[in-house]
Structure 1
Amino acid sequence: MSAAVQAKPQSRILLSGNDAIARGVWEAGAKVAAAYPGTPSTEILESLSLYPDLYAEWSVNEKVAMEVAIGGSMSGARSFCAMKHVGLNVASDAFMTVTVAGVIGGLVIAVADDVGMSSSQNEQDSRFWGRFAHVPVLEPADSQEAYEMAKYAFELSEAYNTPVILRLTTRVCHVKAVVQVGEKVAHDIGGFKSDARRWVMTPANAKGLLPAQIAREGKLQALAEASPMNFLDDGPDKRVGFVTSGPAYMHVRESFPDAPVLKLGFTYPVPVALVEKLAAQVEHLVVVEETEPLMEQELKAAGLQAIHGKDLLPRLGELTPNVLIPAIKTFLGEPLPPTTTYPKFDPFPRPPTMCAACPHMGVYYSLARMRKNVQISGDIGCYTLGAGHPWNALDSTISMGASMGIALGMDKARTEETKDKAVVAVIGDSTFLHMGMQGLLDIVYNRGNVTVLILDNRTTGMTGGQNHAGTGKGLKGDDTPRVDFAKLVEALGVKPERISKIDPYVLPVVFKTIKQETAIPEVSVIITDRPCVLSEFYTKIEPYKVIDEDCTGCGNCINVGCPAITVKRSESKVRPDGKVNELKFTTIDTAMCTGCHMCVESCGPKAIVLAKPAAAAE
């Protein structure tokens, strides 16, 4: 059990921002919590699941997580959901409606923005949802504030009949700090009370609720102006004053310790009057915000024109001291501080790749061999790495579940040049359940000629190996019904004879099945069935090694892409016809090898054998 769960009232414990939010949600008396894993928000629900007297689930996607939380709130329970920034795009349909209907039990939505795109396909600023949906936004700068704001958000939600967004960034989510925690408070659940005029959101009912939403925003504006979460951290150097929020406050304070800083924690509605007070005290006012100029534009729209922001600072990435100091000093006409020089070295390149024995490698090895004859639509997950070396076997990756619709679009937009190319969509098991099912249904309904590869590794791999509806395990490791993918895709309309289930470690079968199904001009689905090597379902077998004297340097094993295989030496050999063969003699790291035997099947000279022969192992 985590230290946060074991902590006594008024304890000081080391918590990441994600763990601190979980602690705050539990102490606030929340009863329902739901999420879909997505970095950097994943650990919030994992941590929350360890607390007693609270229901927590991995939902099949963020929209469902939002709806579960809304249902809990409608029933009077304090409810919570968490997601990364792109997850709120998925959940926005339900979210935009509940902002009109309001809440009964407090409803808090933690949204983690991946500033700097360490693990995301785009960089969004979730503060815009506050303005778009007319709901308050709270922004913690560290773990202590994350804990406190999570608790306060429920009170704010109930007091003003509104969902509350807790906007996080990667730095807040993952950086640890000492947090002073308290006790859990009791929160009574009144139970659901039928009220069709409020909860049945027909146009007539929704129109009746809109005036209350508009009036609420005015009250929230006044609350933001008076909130103790927004305070002026004064300083003697009045040349530049800063308006900032979240972890950017820490960077500003570190970079300019003598400057006045208006630190905002209650960031939407923007407290314009507070900013005006600071503006009157300084020569220049600079808005420091990650990533979009939301506050800057709001302030300019309110009449504060003599302010700076994105004219000095970048709109992407974190605003760390190495970004802030040069920008502001250049603006003031001051010399830049001397930079420390370090010995230059070129680190060994280490691009992201799949794990040793990853079941996705066999699929991409086979697709790479067919590369000239296929268009390959990819998806979000570990299998996105199929775009990299040595496979180079993806043409697109857009968003969760998008491989399906994009593949159908590719199919329907065939030209003379591409009419004979097969169209393949690659998607993982968790992603298929998240958003892929509707796409496959659309392919079937519209008679697409697409071969769909569902790579079932029995986990949500890229975010750390979380369970989902296809693993047979729940958030707390409890047994649950497990989706049968073959039956599911048949129910979506795929013909039984066009559904194949294969072992991705058996390369000849993988290649033959893909080639066979792509040659048939209708929808087909190939399901791989090997668990992720990092999951509880994987069983390691004996590793392999290369017999040096038998290795011909053909390099086929390298093309499988396993990181346990490395090139020991290279040679150039001139053939009788004058062409040069580049030979790559390999070795296998037996400590890393898990015995998947894909490299064995790629090896023509049979130079790869068990490191411990069966007789010796016995």
Structure 2
Amino acid sequence: MAAVMPAPAASRLLLSGNEAVARAVWEAGVKVAAAYPGTPATEMLEVIATYPDLYAEWSVNEKVSLEVAIGAAYAGSRAFCCMKHVGMNVASDALMTLTLTGVVGGLVIAIADDVGLSSSQNEQDSRYWGRFAHVPVFEPADSQEAYAMTLAAFELSEQFEVPVILRMTTRINHVKALVTVGERQPRTGKGFQKSPGRFVMVPGNAGKRIPLMFERDGRLREQAEISPYNVLETGTDRRVGFITSGPAYMHVREAFPDAPVLKLGFSCPVPVERCRALAALVDQVVVVEEVEPLVETELKAAGLPVIGKAILPVQGELSPAVLRPAIARLLGEPVPPAPPVAAQIFPRPPTMCVACPHLGVYYTLSQVRNLNISGDIGCYTLGAGHPWNALDTCVSMGASMGIALGMDKGRGEADQDKRVVAVIGDSTFLHMGMQGLLDMVYNKGNVTVLLLDNRAVGMTGGQDNPGNGFNIHGDETPRVDFAKLCEALGVKKERIHTVNPYELPVLFKTVREEVKVPEVSVIITDQPCVLTKAYHKLKPYAVEDDKCTGCGNCLEVGCPAIHVTRRDQAVKPNGRTVDLAFVRIESSVCTGCGLCLQPCAPDAIQHWVPSAPVNFMRPGCTGGGCA
């Protein structure tokens, strides 16, 4: 990527929260930044990588990215790491010991919580990591604060020699606002100073560091009480006061502009005395927090009579439409009418892209009977939906492997004749799937693994990974050979097959044969994601109307370029009624992959030959990739 030109001092830019953090990371003099892609955090590192004078990398998983940042901070340089909320689950092993060693150079960890489940398998509150790991937490409410708090977090990190968490949510990550920015302040790392008693965390050394951690907690509590990011707004309507943080503050201020509010920007440790000051001003205190009752519980333990989740929901965003009726009920006032329901538009169920290489895989799995299919995190999770219905589980990154082995070893009476299949993508396999395959081989599982190599981290926007041979800047790097890697993990060479997923007969035959083999086998599909530059379009196809019989076989492939134009019914000679679906192909978006051609019984699908200039009035939506 080309480096961006630094903006002059004190200029104003329209930035999302992710872009604002990236700008502050660069200005703070950070030398090393690392991450693994994950919505809504992805853009932070993507933007950081466009700035000069620092090192940025996509790591194979979040744990490795944090360890890279830790190494840089140990060496005295400023370092940055970012991830989505579930990524911290992966990185937490390193975090929980890092809190004992502390850091030398400033280290900031940005965690993006997906409040409202826009693109995640759970709704997790990352503020708990501050309490669990004994580290401070900042919570910005807009892009300007995301920028300012990132800079402040580096200063605090170095002052207290502690990593600092910047807790963001989707509402901050992806919403843009004007941000006043400055210029980069170059910094020189001190270099790594050997200190085994501090950096070698064997039990004897770790035990000595724990009292230091608790002493640091006390100093951080004092800092939180005087932090300029914890702001008490006195207001004029003293019936209810609010304690809140992050984007929930914006919702509170919009819903109750005259109410006293304590806005927690430096939210961990909780500034209890500031909270007491608010409580002294009002009749009742309501804690508005997304999503867990964390601050509420701490304040109740400190003896403050606050109200929270007794009147507010424990999931989703706390918008004004949620807050107003809750407070009206608390005050015994008439509940305001619900806002008008937005006009319903046509449904757009999640689906894969036109010509996605995963389409043929799920079409094949939907045609093979007697399977239990363990899935994973990625575009291919959509295989659980219509028309394939070919995915039975999805839990976490890499879990398809261990779950498949457990399905095999834990077979019930009804599963004795079932074959177990695990589906995993290339980046997910490198992230956390390799260990599962090794365990599967070591423990002699009977599982067929479908390793879907589309040469990209597809669901988060097509980022590079070790499987496609390019780094974050597009520079060539060594590319993983998945067949050799699987063989090195113990899979027999004759049980490893590389298949073109667009060749349905070959794919179908390979799957049918391998699921019958009572040992671990791996089928690797090897075609690139259609949204990357590695994919090359072919001549599109079209349906010849006079040949289409309405059999609907092509629809079972699931390509969103195929549209039903007319439905009908027919009565067969045996008296059975069958449903018919006559179709057309949106030739302007068809890439000519040929998947629909293969199940078409009447050969009604042929290469498209325009008889008139192409009409591009339709939006060329590919049906996916926006997650």
- Shift in CA distance, 341/231, structure 1 to aligned 2, threshold 3 Å: closer
- 2:309 corresponds to which residue? 310
CA distance in structure 1 between the aligned counterparts of 2:318 and 2:344, rounded to whole angstroms: 26
- 2:189 corresponds to which residue? 189
Report SS of the residue matched to 1:324: helix
Most deviating of 252-261 and 414-423:
414-423
CA distance in structure 2 between the aligned counterparts of 1:591 and 1:214, rounded to whole angstroms: 63
CA distance in structure 1 between the aligned counterparts of 2:5 and 2:554, rounded to whole angstroms: 47
Taking the TM superposition and a 5 Å limit, the aligned residue runs for 1:162-173 are 162-173=162-173
Q: One-letter code of the match for 2:414? A: E
1:333 correspondence with 2:371: no
Report SS of the residue matched to 1:599: coil
1:170-210: CA deviation from partner (whole Å, max 9, x where unpaired): 00100000000012112221111211111111000001111
1:84-116: CA deviation from partner (whole Å, max 9, x where unpaired): 000000000011001000001011100000000
Contact 2:60–2:431, Cα closer than 8 Å, also in 1? yes
Shift of 1:340: 5.3
- 2:110 corresponds to which residue? 110
CA distance in structure 2 between the aligned counterparts of 1:556 and 1:5, rounded to whole angstroms: 53
Contact 1:96–1:133, Cα closer than 8 Å, also in 2? yes
Q: One-letter code of the match for 1:312? A: I
1:396-421: CA deviation from partner (whole Å, max 9, x where unpaired): 00000000000000000113321121
Taking the TM superposition and a 5 Å limit, the aligned residue runs for 1:151-166 are 151-166=151-166
CA distance in structure 1 between the aligned counterparts of 2:308 and 2:3, rounded to whole angstroms: 41
Shift of 1:337: 3.0
- 1:466 corresponds to which residue? 463
Q: One-letter code of the match for 1:350? A: R
CA distance in structure 2 between the aligned counterparts of 1:339 and 1:90, rounded to whole angstroms: 41
Q: One-letter code of the match for 2:392? A: D
Shift of 1:377: 0.1
Shift of 1:575: 1.1
- Shift in CA distance, 459/24, structure 1 to aligned 2, threshold 3 Å: same
CA distance in structure 2 between the aligned counterparts of 1:3 and 1:273, rounded to whole angstroms: 46
Contact 1:135–1:164, Cα closer than 8 Å, also in 2? yes
- Shift in CA distance, 450/400, structure 1 to aligned 2, threshold 3 Å: same
Report SS of the residue matched to 1:179: strand
Report SS of the residue matched to 2:459: coil
1:483-516: CA deviation from partner (whole Å, max 9, x where unpaired): 0100000000000000000000011111111001
Contact 2:6–2:183, Cα closer than 8 Å, also in 1? no
Q: How high is the TM-score relative to the length of structure 1? A: 0.97
- 1:401 corresponds to which residue? 398
1:532 correspondence with 2:550: no
Contact 1:81–1:108, Cα closer than 8 Å, also in 2? yes
- 1:541 corresponds to which residue? 538
Contact 1:142–1:177, Cα closer than 8 Å, also in 2? yes
Report SS of the residue matched to 2:598: helix
- 1:616 corresponds to which residue? none
- 2:451 corresponds to which residue? 454
Q: One-letter code of the match for 1:337? A: P
Contact 1:358–1:533, Cα closer than 8 Å, also in 2? yes
Taking the TM superposition and a 5 Å limit, the aligned residue runs for 1:153-302 are 153-302=153-302
Report SS of the residue matched to 2:596: helix
CA distance in structure 2 between the aligned counterparts of 1:333 and 1:9, rounded to whole angstroms: 52
- 1:360 corresponds to which residue? 358
- Shift in CA distance, 595/417, structure 1 to aligned 2, threshold 3 Å: same
CA distance in structure 2 between the aligned counterparts of 1:389 and 1:366, rounded to whole angstroms: 14
Contact 1:4–1:13, Cα closer than 8 Å, also in 2? no
Report SS of the residue matched to 1:171: helix
CA distance in structure 2 between the aligned counterparts of 1:185 and 1:391, rounded to whole angstroms: 54
Shift of 1:347: 2.4
Shift of 1:471: 1.1
Q: One-letter code of the match for 2:315? A: L
1:320 correspondence with 2:330: no
Report SS of the residue matched to 1:145: helix
1:595 correspondence with 2:592: yes
CA distance in structure 2 between the aligned counterparts of 1:139 and 1:340, rounded to whole angstroms: 29
CA distance in structure 2 between the aligned counterparts of 1:416 and 1:316, rounded to whole angstroms: 38
Report SS of the residue matched to 2:110: strand
CA distance in structure 2 between the aligned counterparts of 1:187 and 1:459, rounded to whole angstroms: 34
CA distance in structure 1 between the aligned counterparts of 2:473 and 2:171, rounded to whole angstroms: 27
Taking every aligned residue pair, what percent have the same amino acid on both sides?
65
Shift of 1:330: 1.5
Report SS of the residue matched to 1:548: coil
Shift of 1:612: 3.0
1:221-246: CA deviation from partner (whole Å, max 9, x where unpaired): 00000000001112110000000000
CA distance in structure 1 between the aligned counterparts of 2:340 and 2:397, rounded to whole angstroms: 43
Taking the TM superposition and a 5 Å limit, the aligned residue runs for 1:513-532 are 513-532=510-529
- Shift in CA distance, 6/161, structure 1 to aligned 2, threshold 3 Å: closer
Shift of 1:3: 11
CA distance in structure 2 between the aligned counterparts of 1:383 and 1:168, rounded to whole angstroms: 27
Taking the TM superposition and a 5 Å limit, the aligned residue runs for 1:88-103 are 88-103=88-103
Contact 2:224–2:268, Cα closer than 8 Å, also in 1? yes
Contact 2:321–2:339, Cα closer than 8 Å, also in 1? no
Taking the TM superposition and a 5 Å limit, the aligned residue runs for 1:579-590 are 579-590=576-587
State the superposition RMSD in angstroms.
1.5
Q: Which runs of 5+ in 1 are unaligned?
A: 614-618
Taking the TM superposition and a 5 Å limit, the aligned residue runs for 1:21-100 are 21-100=21-100
Contact 1:12–1:178, Cα closer than 8 Å, also in 2? yes
Contact 1:4–1:23, Cα closer than 8 Å, also in 2? no
CA distance in structure 2 between the aligned counterparts of 1:367 and 1:147, rounded to whole angstroms: 47
CA distance in structure 2 between the aligned counterparts of 1:225 and 1:176, rounded to whole angstroms: 30
- 1:383 corresponds to which residue? 380
Report SS of the residue matched to 2:413: coil
CA distance in structure 2 between the aligned counterparts of 1:422 and 1:561, rounded to whole angstroms: 24
Report SS of the residue matched to 1:105: coil
CA distance in structure 1 between the aligned counterparts of 2:533 and 2:330, rounded to whole angstroms: 55
Contact 1:24–1:150, Cα closer than 8 Å, also in 2? yes
Report SS of the residue matched to 2:414: coil
Q: One-letter code of the match for 1:314? A: P
Report SS of the residue matched to 1:600: coil
